[in-house]
Amino acid sequence: MRLFLLTALTMCAFAANSILNRMAVESGASDPAGFAVVRVLSGAVVLVALVWMRGGRLPVRNRRRVLGAGSLSLYMIGFSVAYLTLDAGLGALILFGVVQITMFAISSLTGASPTGRQFVGAGIALAGLTYVLWPSEAVQVDPLGAALMVAAGIGWAIYSLVGRSEPDALSGTAANFLVALPVTALVLLTAGGAWQMTVLGYVLAALSGGVTSGLGYALWYRVLPQLAPAIAAVVQLSVPVIAIIGGVLLLGERATAQLMIGAALVLAGIALATLRKARG
């Protein structure tokens, strides 16, 4: 039960990132580049402070940072810019659909093949994702935004898989944020143009970075070693469902029948893949 509650809390934090990002960028309170930079900066500040308060050390000069910080930067860049044209729920669906596919593929290649139930559950969840993204008048998908979110999904999948071998979740996450900060800032500020941030933009970005990203990712690194790679991939498909509900309640986004049916299929797939079969 404890693992379930921690995982559920982590998924809510991930969904909150979609809501906060969309809220800031769509309202004009922040540009995508500024939001991402402040998000990574505030996450690094909060995490480094927590590590130092407990007398820990930052493993910055570690080969895990190459994949950890590199994939985190790829995720942050693609995630922030994609939300210029994607709704919160739709963006999360693309993101975690790609995460699932990538994690399944890498796990299969490294010998940790998913079970039959997990494959079927993943297939049902992906069917729901495909249904939601099928072109229609109600659901419009911007190609560039979708491509950027696909890149973000690949980055997050790698980040999640690398986290399974992280010996200290908090220190490892803090080091990843610290190393990813200059990379993310250099890429986004070079290509993003003028810095446009209001007070609300700074608040939303700091909340996303320090709480739902920094602490959320540290918690994710903590629970990852207890989850099989296939399970870790499938449960993240609950995030779009949470993001859709949040987008409807907080951002006034449309709750179309297509989105709801797709979300139901995603949840059904997750249940099939993660719930153990009862023994008679």
Local confidence pLDDT in tens for the 280 residues of the chain: 788 889 889 999 988 888 888 888 878 898 888 888 999 999 999 999 999 988 888 888 888 899 999 999 999 888 878 877 777 667 777 887 788 788 888 877 776 677 788 788 878 877 887 776 665 655 567 888 889 999 999 999 999 888 888 888 889 999 999 999 999 888 887 876 667 889 999 999 999 999 999 899 889 988 988 888 878 887 887 787 787 778 778 777 777 787 788 878 877 887 787 775 544 3
On whether residue 212 sits in a domain, the answer given is yes
Q: How many helices (H) and strands (E) does the chain have?
A: 12, 0
Q: Is residue 257 part of a domain?
A: yes
Identity at 22, one-letter amino acid code? R
The first and second tokens of residue 176, run together, are: 């990843």
In a domain, 33, yes or no: yes
> Domain for residue 279, yes or no?
no
Three-point CA angle 13, 83, 163, nearest 5°: 40
Q: What per-residue confidence (pLDDT) applies to 42?
A: 94
Is 280 a member of any domain? no
**Any domain includes 61:** yes
Residue 212: its pLDDT value, please?
92
Long-range CB contacts (< 8 A, 24+ apart) of 60-66? 60/175, 60/178, 60/179, 62/175, 64/162, 64/165, 64/166, 64/172, 65/175, 65/176, 65/179
Q: 194 — phi, psi (to 5°)?
A: -70, 150
Q: Is residue 223 in a domain?
A: yes
Residue 11 maps to a domain: yes
Q: Are 146 and 183 in contact (CB under 8 A)?
A: no
- Domain range enclosing 256: 2-274
- Domain count within the chain: 1
